[in-house]
Protein backbone atom coordinates (compact mmCIF):
# COMPACT_ATOMS: atom_id res chain seq x y z
CA UNK A 1 0.00 0.00 0.00
CA UNK A 2 1.32 3.48 -0.90
CA UNK A 3 2.15 5.59 2.15
CA UNK A 4 -0.23 8.39 3.06
CA UNK A 5 0.27 11.52 5.12
CA UNK A 6 -2.31 12.79 7.56
CA UNK A 7 -2.71 15.93 9.67
CA UNK A 8 -3.54 15.26 13.31
CA UNK A 9 -4.36 18.17 15.61
CA UNK A 10 -4.68 17.95 19.37
CA UNK A 11 -7.22 20.74 19.89
CA UNK A 12 -7.06 23.22 22.80
CA UNK A 13 -9.20 21.04 25.13
CA UNK A 14 -6.41 18.44 24.96
CA UNK A 15 -3.89 20.95 26.30
CA UNK A 16 -6.29 22.39 28.87
CA UNK A 17 -6.98 18.87 30.17
CA UNK A 18 -3.21 18.16 30.17
CA UNK A 19 -3.59 14.92 28.19
CA UNK A 20 -1.50 15.78 25.09
CA UNK A 21 1.13 13.18 26.10
CA UNK A 22 -1.46 10.43 26.50
CA UNK A 23 -3.08 11.37 23.19
CA UNK A 24 0.29 11.15 21.39
CA UNK A 25 0.84 7.75 23.05
CA UNK A 26 -2.49 6.51 21.70
CA UNK A 27 -1.49 7.60 18.17
CA UNK A 28 1.77 5.63 18.56
CA UNK A 29 -0.37 2.47 18.24
CA UNK A 30 -0.78 3.32 14.54
CA UNK A 31 2.88 2.38 14.01
CA UNK A 32 3.29 5.40 11.72
CA UNK A 33 6.21 7.78 11.23
CA UNK A 34 5.84 11.15 12.93
CA UNK A 35 7.29 13.64 10.41
CA UNK A 36 6.12 16.96 11.87
CA UNK A 37 5.14 18.35 15.27
CA UNK A 38 4.67 21.88 16.58
CA UNK A 39 2.56 24.04 18.89
CA UNK A 40 0.32 26.59 17.18
CA UNK A 41 -1.60 29.46 18.77
CA UNK A 42 -4.31 29.45 16.13
CA UNK A 43 -5.22 32.81 14.51
CA UNK A 44 -8.74 33.48 13.15
CA UNK A 45 -7.63 33.23 9.53
CA UNK A 46 -6.14 29.75 9.99
CA UNK A 47 -9.16 28.46 11.94
CA UNK A 48 -11.58 29.72 9.28
CA UNK A 49 -9.45 28.29 6.46
CA UNK A 50 -9.12 24.93 8.23
CA UNK A 51 -12.90 24.58 8.57
CA UNK A 52 -13.69 26.38 5.28
CA UNK A 53 -15.72 23.42 3.95
CA UNK A 54 -18.02 23.64 7.02
CA UNK A 55 -18.80 27.37 6.61
CA UNK A 56 -22.51 26.69 6.06
CA UNK A 57 -22.95 24.63 9.25
CA UNK A 58 -24.82 26.02 12.26
CA UNK A 59 -21.83 25.19 14.49
CA UNK A 60 -19.21 26.92 12.27
CA UNK A 61 -18.63 29.90 14.61
CA UNK A 62 -18.29 27.57 17.61
CA UNK A 63 -15.72 25.30 15.99
CA UNK A 64 -13.66 28.31 14.85
CA UNK A 65 -13.66 29.63 18.45
CA UNK A 66 -12.87 26.11 19.67
CA UNK A 67 -9.81 25.72 17.41
CA UNK A 68 -8.58 29.19 18.44
CA UNK A 69 -8.67 28.15 22.12
CA UNK A 70 -11.44 30.59 23.02
CA UNK A 71 -13.40 27.84 24.79
CA UNK A 72 -10.35 26.42 26.55
CA UNK A 73 -8.25 29.10 28.25
CA UNK A 74 -6.59 30.30 25.03
CA UNK A 75 -4.61 27.10 24.82
CA UNK A 76 -2.77 26.30 21.58
CA UNK A 77 -3.04 23.30 19.28
CA UNK A 78 -0.46 20.53 18.84
CA UNK A 79 -0.18 20.02 15.09
CA UNK A 80 1.34 16.76 13.82
CA UNK A 81 1.85 14.95 10.55
CA UNK A 82 2.05 11.16 10.43
CA UNK A 83 3.08 9.14 7.38
CA UNK A 84 2.71 5.45 6.57
CA UNK A 85 0.50 2.78 5.06
CA UNK A 86 -3.20 3.48 5.59
CA UNK A 87 -2.29 6.45 7.84
CA UNK A 88 -5.65 8.24 7.47
CA UNK A 89 -7.88 5.29 8.36
CA UNK A 90 -5.53 4.25 11.19
CA UNK A 91 -5.51 7.71 12.76
CA UNK A 92 -9.29 8.14 12.36
CA UNK A 93 -9.81 4.79 14.10
CA UNK A 94 -7.55 5.87 16.96
CA UNK A 95 -9.41 9.22 17.18
CA UNK A 96 -12.87 7.61 17.26
CA UNK A 97 -16.24 8.90 16.02
CA UNK A 98 -16.89 12.65 15.63
CA UNK A 99 -19.50 12.61 18.42
CA UNK A 100 -17.61 11.64 21.61
CA UNK A 101 -20.77 9.98 22.94
CA UNK A 102 -20.77 7.65 19.95
CA UNK A 103 -17.00 7.08 19.94
CA UNK A 104 -15.41 3.79 21.00
CA UNK A 105 -14.71 4.27 24.74
CA UNK A 106 -11.05 3.30 24.17
CA UNK A 107 -10.54 5.87 21.39
CA UNK A 108 -9.13 9.36 22.05
CA UNK A 109 -12.56 10.98 21.67
CA UNK A 110 -14.26 8.24 23.70
CA UNK A 111 -11.77 8.62 26.54
CA UNK A 112 -11.37 12.37 26.70
CA UNK A 113 -14.13 14.04 24.65
CA UNK A 114 -17.44 15.49 25.76
CA UNK A 115 -20.55 17.10 24.31
CA UNK A 116 -21.26 20.48 25.90
CA UNK A 117 -24.77 21.53 26.92
CA UNK A 118 -24.61 23.97 23.96
CA UNK A 119 -24.11 20.95 21.70
CA UNK A 120 -20.48 21.48 20.66
CA UNK A 121 -18.61 18.20 20.12
CA UNK A 122 -15.44 18.82 22.16
CA UNK A 123 -13.67 15.83 20.70
CA UNK A 124 -10.01 16.70 21.37
CA UNK A 125 -8.53 15.81 18.02
CA UNK A 126 -8.80 16.58 14.35
CA UNK A 127 -7.72 13.98 11.79
CA UNK A 128 -7.87 14.60 8.00
CA UNK A 129 -10.65 12.54 6.47
CA UNK A 130 -9.23 11.68 3.04
CA UNK A 131 -6.12 12.08 0.88
CA UNK A 132 -7.28 15.33 -0.74
CA UNK A 133 -8.19 16.93 2.59
CA UNK A 134 -4.90 15.75 4.10
CA UNK A 135 -2.88 17.39 1.31
CA UNK A 136 -4.74 20.66 1.65
CA UNK A 137 -4.47 20.71 5.45
CA UNK A 138 -0.79 19.77 5.66
CA UNK A 139 0.00 22.67 3.29
CA UNK A 140 -2.14 24.99 5.41
CA UNK A 141 -0.47 24.08 8.72
CA UNK A 142 3.16 23.27 7.80
CA UNK A 143 5.94 24.67 5.65
CA UNK A 144 7.87 22.03 3.72
CA UNK A 145 10.99 22.77 5.77
CA UNK A 146 9.14 21.83 8.98
CA UNK A 147 8.51 18.26 7.80
CA UNK A 148 10.97 15.37 7.74
CA UNK A 149 11.52 13.74 4.35
P1 LIG B 1 -14.35 15.16 12.06
O2 LIG B 1 -13.57 16.08 12.96
O3 LIG B 1 -14.69 13.85 12.72
O4 LIG B 1 -13.73 14.99 10.69
P5 LIG B 1 -16.19 17.09 10.82
O6 LIG B 1 -17.50 16.72 10.21
O7 LIG B 1 -15.05 17.42 9.90
O8 LIG B 1 -15.78 15.89 11.82
O9 LIG B 1 -16.46 18.31 11.80
C10 LIG B 1 -15.42 19.12 12.29
C11 LIG B 1 -15.65 19.37 13.78
O12 LIG B 1 -16.87 20.07 13.98
C13 LIG B 1 -15.81 18.09 14.61
O14 LIG B 1 -14.59 17.51 14.98
C15 LIG B 1 -16.59 18.60 15.80
O16 LIG B 1 -15.75 19.25 16.75
C17 LIG B 1 -17.51 19.63 15.16
N18 LIG B 1 -18.81 19.04 14.78
C19 LIG B 1 -19.07 18.25 13.72
N20 LIG B 1 -20.36 17.89 13.65
C21 LIG B 1 -20.95 18.50 14.71
C22 LIG B 1 -22.30 18.54 15.19
O23 LIG B 1 -23.23 17.95 14.63
N24 LIG B 1 -22.51 19.27 16.33
C25 LIG B 1 -21.52 19.94 16.97
N26 LIG B 1 -20.24 19.93 16.56
C27 LIG B 1 -19.96 19.23 15.44
MG1 LIG C 1 -13.36 16.46 9.25
Tell me which residue range forms the domain holding 36.
3-146
Q: What is the CATH number of the domain that holds 108?
A: 3.30.70.141
Nearest to 97 by CA among 129, 137, 119: 129
Please choose from 6, 10, 63 the residue to mutate so as to test ligand 1's pocket, defined by most ligand atoms within 8 A of CB: 63
Q: How many domains does the chain have?
A: 1
Q: Is any ligand 1 atom within 6 A of the Cβ of residue 98?
A: yes
Which residue's alpha carbon is at the smallest distance from atom 18 of ligand 1?
Answer: 121
The span from the CA of 104 to the CA of 122, in Å, is: 15
Cα-to-centroid distance, 83 and ligand 2 (Å): 18
Tens-digit pLDDT profile for the chain (149 aa)? 779 999 999 999 999 999 999 999 999 999 999 999 999 999 999 999 999 999 999 999 999 999 999 999 999 999 999 999 999 999 999 999 999 999 999 999 999 999 999 899 999 999 999 999 999 999 999 999 999 99
Which residue's alpha carbon is at the smallest distance from atom 11 of ligand 1?
Answer: 63
From residue 79, give the alpha-carbon distance in Å to each of 7, 57, 130, 132, 146. Answer: 7, 24, 17, 18, 11
Does this model's pTM top 0.95?
yes
Amino acid sequence: MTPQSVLVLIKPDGLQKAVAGEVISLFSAGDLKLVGLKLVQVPLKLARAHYGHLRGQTFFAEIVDYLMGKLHGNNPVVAMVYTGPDAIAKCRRIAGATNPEAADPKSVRGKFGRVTTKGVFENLVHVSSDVKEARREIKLWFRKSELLA
